[in-house]
Amino acid sequence: MRVPEHVAIIMDGNGRWAQARGLARLAGHEAGAESVREIARACRESGVRALTLYSFSTENWSRPGDEVAGLMALLARFLVQERREILDHGIRLNAIGQTDRLPAPVRAALTELMTASRHNQQMVLTLALSYGGRAEIVEAARKLARKAAAGRLRPDQIDEASFAAELSTAGLPEPDLLIRTSGELRLSNFLLWQLAYAELYVTDVPWPDFRRPQLEAAFQQFGGRERRFGKTGAQIAEGR
Ligand code: IPE
Ligand code: IPE
Ligand code: MG
């Protein structure tokens, strides 16, 4: 089976999963952390090279304070508990987003594990934290404008490759497959530039119930898709 090189996931539906069980939303986030463990492991074992998880958006800062605090505590705990798994299995931890907005203990745990795992090559696990696609694009434009203003770049030198090089995902391949759990048909400001040609897969299964069998179903469907990149089906069939 053809496995995607880079899988990006919008992990949605934790709150609804919990509410349907009469539990607090935070219980849904905790169950969702179990899915993160299982899916990261399954991706690595399947030969996926890059996994990017939308963990907290810039917009998510507007949630009730206790939910945000609970999510941040969960994140800090996750980084401690997953340390061995990450280091023992050759995973390089990476983060994108405005990580300077994260609470200091989370930032410290994140930086430490990113540094400790920096030479690992099996799979890169990127957590999108306080991430917003528009903010990322604006920041890239700002960096290019600064270079131009300093006389180090001519505007006509700006092309797709040099623009992408200023994004926080520079160096990563573009996602081949975007999975969104819990049924919403939107991007919610995730990887707006990078998802230009990703295959989209939306399932009604909420994130806490999205485990290995559900991932395999997504890969199965991905494997049967014809990615044409604007060409005709005949051209693809002939390898042109
Ligand atoms: C995704 O689940 C987790 C985060 C956005 C942090 P939600 O918390 O959005 O769950 P729903 O969409 O309310 O069910
Ligand atoms: C997107 O989910 C963000 C994450 C999964 C971290 P949301 O639940 O925040 O998205 P909207 O608000 O329904 O679009
Ligand atoms: Mg949601």
**Ligand 2 within 6 A of CB of 52:** no
Q: What is the pLDDT of residues 108-159, one digit of tens each?
A: 999 999 999 999 999 999 999 999 999 999 999 999 999 999 999 999 999 9
Distances (CA, A) of 163 to 142, 151, 229: 11, 17, 20
What percentage of the chain has pLDDT greater than the value 70?
Answer: 100
207 CB near ligand 2 (under 6 Å): no
Q: What is the CA radius of gyration of the chain?
A: 19
Q: Is 17 in the pocket of ligand 2 (CB under 6 A)?
A: no
Ligand 2: does its nearest atom lie under 6 Å from the Cβ of 85? no
Q: Which domains does the chain have, with CATH numbers?
A: 6-132+175-224 (3.40.1180.10)
Handedness of CA 231, 232, 236, 240 (dihedral sign): negative
Percent of the chain with pLDDT over 90: 98
Rounded to the nearest whole angstrom, what is the distance from the C-alpha of residue 116 to the centroid of ligand 1? 30
| Nearest ligand, CA 59 | 2
Closest ligand to the CA of 25: 1
Model pLDDT, residue 39: 98
Ligand nearest to the CA of 53: 2
The answer, yes or no, to whether any atom of ligand 2 lies below 6 A from the CB of 109, is: no
Cβ neighbors of 167 (< 8 A, separation 6 or more) are 136, 137, 140, 193, 194
Q: How far is the CA of 60 from the centre of ligand 3 (A)?
A: 9
Pocket of ligand 1 (CB under 6 A): 11-16, 56, 60, 71, 182
**The pLDDT of residue 209:** 99
* Nearest-atom index, ligand 1, CA of 25: 8
Residue 25 CA to ligand 2 center (angstroms) comes to 14
Indicate which residue's Cα is closest to atom 3 of ligand 2: 57
Query: pTM score, two decimals?
Result: 0.98
Q: What confidence tens digit (pLDDT) does each residue in 16-38 have?
A: 999 999 999 999 999 999 999 99
Residues serving a catalytic function are 12, 60
End-to-end CA distance of the chain: 22
CA atoms of 64 and 167, how far apart (whole Å):
30
- Rounded to 5 degrees, φ, ψ at 126 are -105, 125
pLDDT at 1: 78
Q: What is the mean pLDDT of residues 211-240?
A: 96
**Average pLDDT of span 36-47:** 98
Torsions phi, psi of 150, nearest 5? -85, 0
- How many whole angstroms separate alpha carbon 199 and alpha carbon 134? 21
